[in-house]
């Protein structure tokens, strides 16, 4: 991956603890994800599921536990997180160090691809999305920052509350992509949007004491909670793509 400060290969104590804590106390989105996948019926018996940018594997762990007859593959560029994931893996799980911008080298034929909170942290969406869609999976579930209109933002932040070792700040992207442009792009690969909704968190999250990047919530007049990280509004969406001309039986 062409990233000069190698942020995906590093991790401080805060980030490591976040991944480990996820196994003990699943985050709000993890619970939402499992419920949503069950409602949509997009995991069947003997399905192959790939999680791209799986981190330490907690989301995949809970899914693998719920669907023991399917096979789950976790891919991440950080070998330290893959080591953690392997130490906690179930029989129907495999983990591998891999770059999601070079998926053509993998000999996997997925039925469902997961990309959870990954694409907005890439320099651009097109290259990784092209790799993902070229795998011809039946379904692709994406969680990322999106705007429902013909506008995109490319945001690069420096978080000086995080010391990453080689440099005294964490530098990363927080890009917000256009849903309308996503729809146009996926047509080239014979995909349609099967499901889409914004993720509205159900709990209050306090603002980090160090005031660095890290999600917290602000309540507005209609009691909706806006998610914010540092100075940025976080418009999370969950979008499920489905290969065209494919029917789904939720009762299977």
Q: Say which CATH number the domain at 130 has.
A: 3.40.50.150
**108 or 242, which is more confident:** 242
Quick check: 48 pLDDT over 70? yes
Average pLDDT rounded to a whole number, residues 53-67: 95
- What is the residue range of 23's domain? 7-202+235-243
- 34 located within any domain: yes
Can you tell me the mean pLDDT for 120-135? 93
Q: Would 218 be classed as within a structural domain?
A: no
Contact 112, 136 (CB under 8 A): no
Residue 149 in any domain: the answer is: yes
Residue 17: the pLDDT is 82
Residue 148 binned pLDDT confidence (cut-offs 50, 70, 90): very high
Query: Span 100-107, mean pLDDT?
Result: 80
pLDDT at 210: 87
State residue 205's pLDDT score: 95
In a domain, 115, yes or no: yes
- pLDDT at position 223 is 83
Among the ranges given (111-120, 168-177, 191-200), the one the predictor scored with the smallest mean pLDDT: 168-177
The answer as to whether 207 is a domain residue is no
Which DSSP letter does residue 176 get?
A: B
Of 117, 71, 157, 130, nearest to 238 (Cα)? 117
Q: Kindly tell me the sign of the dihedral angle through the C-alpha atoms of 23, 31, 134, 53.
A: negative
**In-domain check, residue 226:** no
Query: How many structural domains compose the chain?
Result: 1
Residue 251 predicted with pLDDT over 50: no
Question: Is 229 domain-assigned?
Answer: no
pTM: 0.90
For residue 49, being part of any structural domain is answered with yes
Least confident of 12-26, 122-136, 211-225: 12-26
- Spatial CB neighbours of 40, under 8 Å, sequence gap ≥ 6: 194, 195, 240, 248, 250
């Amino acid at each position: 991956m062409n990233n000069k400060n190698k942020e995906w290969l590093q991790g401080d104590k805060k980030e490591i603890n976040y991944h480990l804590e996820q196994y003990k106390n699943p985050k709000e989105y993890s619970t939402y994800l499992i419920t949503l996948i069950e409602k949509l019926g997009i995991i069947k018996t003997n399905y192959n599921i790939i999680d791209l940018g799986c981190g330490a594997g907690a989301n995949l762990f809970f899914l693998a536990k719920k669907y023991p007859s399917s096979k789950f593959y976790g891919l991440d560029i950080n070998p330290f997180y893959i080591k953690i994931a392997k130490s906690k893996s179930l029989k129907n799980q495999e983990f591998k160090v891999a770059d999601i911008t070079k998926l053509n080298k993998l000999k996997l034929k997925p039925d469902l691809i997961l990309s959870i909170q990954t694409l907005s942290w890439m320099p651009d969406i097109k290259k990784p999305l092209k790799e993902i869609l070229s795998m011809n999976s039946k379904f692709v579930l994406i969680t990322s920052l999106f705007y429902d209109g013909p506008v995109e933002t490319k945001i690069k932040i420096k978080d000086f509350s995080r010391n990453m070792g080689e440099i005294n700040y964490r530098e990363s992207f927080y890009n917000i992509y256009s849903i309308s442009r996503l729809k146009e792009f996926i047509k080239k690969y014979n995909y349609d949007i099967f499901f889409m909704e914004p993720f509205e968190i159900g709990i209050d999250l306090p603002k980090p004491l160090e005031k660095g990047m890290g999600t917290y919530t602000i309540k507005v007049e209609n009691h909706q909670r806006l998610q914010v990280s540092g100075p940025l509004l976080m418009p999370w969406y969950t979008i499920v793509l489905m290969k065209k001309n494919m029917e789904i039986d939720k009762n299977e």
